């Protein structure tokens, strides 16, 4: 696809560049970065400390390299290979200086460099991880630097690790969405000598996970089993996991969405450096997961509690939290999961002593929110004629926020099941009404 001989117009320059020339420049840069890694002690020591030392001696499939602390060594090298200044700028390998636009310097300097490949295997961009030395010298330096978008590269249309792991993807291994290249390679290494089918990790390319990338993930045959989201345990990672759920959730899709959560500040690569780390990482991805929707609810509640630590100290706050969380019940894959999620919300918010009473309340909140959202009753709930109220369920009576009575047993009983799922899953209440 990317190796088309047709020229492409680049930016506002008015000039056309052949895809083949830009790809050749990137390929020459990969070879040059690889050569610099072999002689660079600090980046090799860092990779070894992260249990990624195999990348130093083993070039394929990842071809990780190092961009040295020089201003224009790569640019000079590629200029000597007859690449034009404009080709190097368009490819994202060089950039003009602020003071002298005619002078080009390297984009990547003192960084471990991870090539990004398109589905055909061509190197189209790079992710550069700054050395600890540079980060200590300049705290404002971005830890990760990514190639700008170019005629070759649209960062929201590729996932890092797809081209390198075609064998595992074709074999139907369970896909895992991680945050970056180190996590991707850590999971790849964890199965390198196991001889077992398992997980194949991919990551966004320096941007937020988007709809096109979700479609790529959903196209992998392993997603019929499950998709695991394994982002960092920090607030940013949790928000990214929540956003990924909304993009990956698809009505009627096969497979489940799972979360593999890690301690705050940790990630899959951190597990790899522990004693027996490869086995620990495999276990975390296979056996220590839970439904992603439950994690999304917990993340939301944790954010509420970080803003209002006393929210669950009184009954009104508990009902308010349950009301806020209840719309997520409608995101469940099936009625069984909806019931289990409602039970989870009851347990986390402590709105009722008896589980089935609380579940009815959560279901009622969810149904009430749905009715307000769509403005009418969902299809299938209205069994009467269009101009009649016969067979139409009565709207749910729910207490207003912050004004819930001390006991939930009131004439407007919020524990009564709602018209959506509760009538199927609250048999005790159905018998009581009968």
* SS3 of the chain: CCCCCCEEECCCCCCEEEHHHHHHHHHHHHHHHHHHHHCCHHHHHHHHHCCCCHHHHCCCCCCCEEECCCCCHHHHHHHHCCCCHHHHHHHCCEEECCCCCCCEEECCCCEEEEEEECCCCCEEEEEEEECHHHHHHCCCCCCEEECCCECCECHHHCEECCHHHHHHHHCCCEEEECCCHHHHHHHHHHCCCCCCCCEEEEEECCCCCCHHHHHHHHHCHHHHCEEEECCCCCHHHHHHHHHHHHHHCCCCCCCEEEECCCCCCCCHHHHHCCCCHHHHHHHHHHCCCEEHHHHHHHHHHHHHHHHCCCHHHCHHHHHHHHHHHHHHHHHCCCHHHHHHHHHHHHHHHCCCCCHHHHHHHHHHHHHHHHHHHHCCCCCCCCCCCCCCCCCCCCCCCCCCCCCCCCCCCCCCCCCCCCCCCHHHHCHHHHHHHC
Structural domain tally of the chain? 3
Are 164 and 127 contained in the same domain?
no
Q: Which residues lie closer than 8 Å to 371 by C-beta, 6 or more apart?
A: 377, 378, 395, 396
The per-residue pLDDT for range 88-109, each reduced to its tens digit, is 999 999 999 988 888 999 999 9
Per mean pLDDT, which range of 35-44, 200-209, 374-383 is the poorest?
Answer: 374-383
Are 282 and 318 contained in the same domain?
no
Whether 374 is in a domain gets the answer yes
Are 345 and 371 contained in the same domain?
yes
> What pLDDT is stored for residue 108 in this prediction?
98
Are 100 and 180 contained in the same domain?
no
Whether 295 is in a domain gets the answer no
Average pLDDT, rounded, for the chain:
84
Are 137 and 164 contained in the same domain?
no
> What pLDDT is stored for residue 265 in this prediction?
67
CATH at 238: 3.40.1360.10
Whether 387 is in a domain gets the answer no
Are 137 and 220 contained in the same domain?
no
Per mean pLDDT, which range of 13-27, 125-139, 211-225, 348-362 is the poorest?
Answer: 13-27
Boundary (domain end) residue, out of 290, 325, 340:
290
Boundary (domain end) residue, out of 121, 153, 185:
153
State which of 44-53, 190-199, 257-266 shows the largest mean pLDDT: 44-53
State which of 247-261, 262-276, 337-351 shows the largest mean pLDDT: 337-351
Average of per-residue pLDDT across 222-235: 92
Are 88 and 182 contained in the same domain?
no
Whether the pLDDT of residue 38 is over 70: the answer is yes
406 confidence band (pLDDT: 50, 70, 90): very low
Whether 298 is in a domain gets the answer no
Long-range contacts of 208-216 (CB under 8 A, 24+ apart): 208/240, 208/243, 209/177, 209/240, 209/243, 209/244, 209/247, 210/156, 210/247, 211/247, 212/156, 212/157, 213/156, 213/157, 213/158, 213/159, 214/244, 214/247, 214/248, 216/158, 216/159, 216/162
Whether 423 is in a domain gets the answer yes
Ramachandran angles phi, psi of 141, nearest 5°: -65, 135
pTM above 0.85, yes or no: no
Boundary (domain end) residue, out of 225, 259, 290:
290
The per-residue pLDDT for range 342-378, each reduced to its tens digit, is 999 999 999 988 777 899 999 999 988 787 777 654 4
267 confidence band (pLDDT: 50, 70, 90): confident
Whether 94 is in a domain gets the answer yes
Are 215 and 232 contained in the same domain?
yes
| Residue 89 belongs to domain spanning | 7-153
Are 358 and 280 contained in the same domain?
no
Average of per-residue pLDDT across 304-312: 96
> What pLDDT is stored for residue 251 in this prediction?
63
* Residue 362 · residue 342 · CB < 8 Å: yes
Peptide bond into 61 cis (omega under 30): yes
Whether 130 is in a domain gets the answer yes
Are 318 and 279 contained in the same domain?
no
The per-residue pLDDT for range 170-199, each reduced to its tens digit, is 999 999 999 999 999 999 999 987 777 899
Are 167 and 284 contained in the same domain?
yes
Are 233 and 282 contained in the same domain?
yes
Whether the pLDDT of residue 407 is over 60: the answer is no
């Amino acid at each position: 696809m990317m190796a088309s001989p047709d020229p492409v117009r680049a930016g506002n320059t008015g000039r056309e560049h052949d895809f083949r020339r830009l790809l050749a420049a990137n390929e020459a840069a990969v070879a040059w970065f690889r050569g610099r890694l072999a002689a660079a002690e600090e980046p090799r020591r860092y990779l070894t400390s992260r249990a990624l030392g195999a990348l130093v001696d083993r070039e394929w499939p990842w071809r990780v390299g190092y961009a040295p602390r020089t201003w224009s060594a790569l640019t000079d090298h590629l200029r000597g290979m007859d690449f034009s200044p404009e080709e190097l700028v368009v490819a994202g390998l060089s950039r003009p200086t602020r003071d002298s636009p005619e002078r080009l310097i390297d984009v990547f300097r003192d960084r471990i460099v991870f090539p990004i490949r398109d589905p055909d295997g061509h190197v189209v961009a790079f992710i550069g991880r700054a050395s600890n030395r540079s980060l200590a010298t300049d705290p404002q330096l971005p830890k990760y630097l990514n190639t700008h978008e170019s005629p070759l590269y649209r960062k929201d249309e590729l996932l890092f690790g797809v081209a390198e792991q075609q064998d595992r993807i074709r074999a139907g291994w369970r896909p895992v969405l991680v945050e970056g290249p180190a996590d991707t390679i850590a999971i790849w290494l964890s199965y390198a000598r196991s001889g077992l089918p398992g997980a194949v990790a991919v990551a966004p390319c320096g941007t937020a996970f988007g709809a096109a990338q979700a479609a790529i993930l959903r196209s992998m045959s392993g997603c019929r089993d499950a998709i695991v989201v394994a982002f960092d345990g920090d607030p940013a990672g949790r928000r990214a996991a929540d956003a990924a759920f909304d993009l990956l959730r698809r009505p009627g899709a096969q497979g489940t969405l799972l979360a593999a959560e890690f301690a705050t500040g940790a990630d899959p690569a951190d597990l790899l450096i522990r004693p027996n780390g490869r086995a620990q990482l495999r276990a975390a991805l296979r056996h220590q997961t839970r439904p992603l929707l439950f994690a999304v609810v917990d993340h939301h509640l944790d954010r509420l509690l970080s803003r209002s630590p006393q929210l669950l100290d009184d009954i009104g706050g508990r009902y308010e939290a349950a009301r806020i969380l209840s719309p997520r019940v409608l995101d469940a894959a099936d009625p069984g999961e909806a019931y289990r999620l409602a039970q989870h919300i009851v347990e986390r918010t402590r709105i009722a002593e008896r589980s089935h009473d609380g579940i009815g309340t959560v279901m009622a909140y969810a149904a009430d929110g749905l009715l307000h959202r769509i403005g009418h009753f969902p299809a299938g709930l209205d069994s009467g004629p269009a101009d009649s109220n016969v067979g139409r369920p009565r709207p749910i009576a729910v207490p207003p926020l912050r004004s819930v009575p001390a006991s939930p047993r009131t004439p407007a009983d919020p524990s009564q099941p709602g018209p959506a799922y509760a009538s199927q899953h609250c048999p005790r209440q159905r018998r009581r009404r009968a």
